[in-house]
Amino acid sequence: MLLLGLQSSWLPFYGGIVVGFITTFLLLHVLLLPQPVPVPSWDPRVGTAPPGTPSSPALYSLAPSDTAGEDAGVARGLFQRVRVLCWVMTAPQNLEPKARHVRDTWARHCNVALFVSSEPAPHFPAVGLGVPEGRAQLYWKTIRALQYVQRHHRHSADWFLKADDDTFVVLDNLRWLLAAHSPQRPLYFGKRFRPFARQGYMSGGAGYVLSRAALARVATALTRGTCGHSGPEEDVALGQCLERLGVAVGDSRDTWGRETFHPFPPEIHLTHHFARDFWYQRYCWYPVVEGPRCCSDLAVSFHYVSGEEMYTLEYLSQRLRPYGYSPRYQPALRPPVSPNTPRTPVSLNATETPVSPNATWTPVSPRATRSHPGPHAPKPPNPSRTPPALKAAPDLGGSYSGVHAGEGTPPQPQMS
């Protein structure tokens, strides 16, 4: 009887222990013990959209602020005077692996940052263009992106930068470069390549930036079909279109003649020796420089940058510095120079004047936008409109590792 009694009560006893333990555990950890505060996915310093802007999934940044021992006054002035909208081309499957690292690093320095994908992703935030992904659709996607930016954001900024989700950009340096130019002029900057267009075209991956006037022209033309809606490579096709519309190419080199937009990561430009017959030498508008002089101190962009390297470059450029070091290159802020417009002071809050289709314009020669003439005269355009067959894999040599050439193909002039 006793045994039976014990047997019948051990089950509820041990069951009770388990229940009691679990209940107390839940009570303690859920209700009583402090929970870690969930970190917001966006930087709390990110500002809110200015009043009157349409509801578009964009990120608005705050001007750079002073910290202890650091005076960001000049950078802040440039942030307010040279407003840049960044639109980053990405895809749904790349949001977390790639675009997220852009969003959490350099995109925070844009006045406005837009992530452009084929499908909308409001939590990211990313805009959906409704264009399918894939190399064949790249030009279509770029056209749609340009039209979207023109439609929703033409008043948000003075300059419009296109970048990929593996491009790293230093916005303060872009503003320095653009400060000398008027956004009312149809102008664009980037890494200048020679073939396929008389004035050259800008490499897509290294990023290119259009003035407000240039954006208006190209968006209008694309809507009207002036430029055609398909092309073999997005950057070549766009370059040809811009040339047809009279948008001039700017010289993006610094005052010591060093490049600022770069189609490869820093390690390649600084340490690699390109093979003689590598396409890059033929494509560059300006002479290729290897070693330390490849790149300006005030570099604007690098391409084929992995997610981890985004943070590394952000840390190296924005945070880590040699205390007390006085750099060799300390250029002055270049005041705006516009030889083709009347000598009235540039109003900082000038209202945009619409480009009328009958307005006369004169193509600005590249020399006028630079402080000293370039070493090369533009060569006659390549008679064939399609790019030559490129080698299957560029022989970059043993010292080079870690290129992600998009879908596994070697770096080519079209963007990944």
| Binding to another protein in span 258-277, by CB under 8 A | 266-267, 270-271
Find out whether 334 and 205 touch, Cβ atoms under 8 Å: no
Distance CA 243, CA 246 (A): 5
What part of residues 292-331 is at the interface with another protein (CB under 8 A)?
Answer: 292-293, 295, 297-299, 307-309, 311-329
Least CB distance to another protein at residue 345 (A): 22
Taking phi over 0 as left and psi of -120 to 50 as alpha, with beta for the rest, 301 belongs to beta
- Helices 212-224 and 138-153 cross at an angle (nearest 10°) of 120
Distant-in-sequence, close-in-space partners of 272: CB < 8 Å, separation ≥ 6: 264, 290, 396, 397, 399, 400
What part of residues 333-372 is at the interface with another protein (CB under 8 A)?
Answer: 333
What part of residues 181-240 is at the interface with another protein (CB under 8 A)?
Answer: none
Q: Which amino acid is at 217?
A: R
What part of residues 23-42 is at the interface with another protein (CB under 8 A)?
Answer: 23-25, 28, 33, 39-41
Q: Which amino acid is at 161?
A: L
Residue number, 71 or 407, with CB nearest to another protein: 71
Binder of another protein out of 61, 105, 182, 203 (CB under 8 A)? 105
Least CB distance to another protein at residue 78 (A): 6
Q: Which amino acid is at 403?
A: V
Distance CA 146, CA 83 (A): 17
Please tell me whether residue 74 binds another protein under the rule CB under 8 A.
yes
Please tell me whether residue 13 binds another protein under the rule CB under 8 A.
yes
Binder of another protein out of 22, 136, 337, 350 (CB under 8 A)? 22
Burial class (CB in 10 A: 0-12, 13-18, 19+), 137: middle
Residue number, 103 or 153, with CB nearest to another protein: 103
Residue number, 172 or 235, with CB nearest to another protein: 172
Binding segment for another protein among 1-9, 113-121, 219-227, 229-237 (CB under 8 A)? 1-9
Least CB distance to another protein at residue 333 (A): 8
Least CB distance to another protein at residue 116 (A): 23
> DSSP character for 98?
I
Residue number, 50 or 402, with CB nearest to another protein: 402
Least CB distance to another protein at residue 88 (A): 18
- Mapped onto helix, strand or coil, the DSSP state of residue 347 is coil
Least CB distance to another protein at residue 36 (A): 11
Taking phi over 0 as left and psi of -120 to 50 as alpha, with beta for the rest, 284 belongs to beta
Least CB distance to another protein at residue 299 (A): 6
Please tell me whether residue 8 binds another protein under the rule CB under 8 A.
yes
Distance CA 131, CA 179 (A): 34
Please tell me whether residue 17 binds another protein under the rule CB under 8 A.
yes
Please tell me whether residue 12 binds another protein under the rule CB under 8 A.
yes
Residue number, 41 or 353, with CB nearest to another protein: 41
Please tell me whether residue 73 binds another protein under the rule CB under 8 A.
yes
Distances (CA, A) of 69 to 45, 54, 72, 73, 326: 20, 38, 10, 12, 15
**112 token code pair:** 């406005």
Q: How would you classify the pairing of strands 112-117 and 84-89?
A: parallel
Binding segment for another protein among 131-139, 190-198, 287-295, 408-416 (CB under 8 A)? 287-295
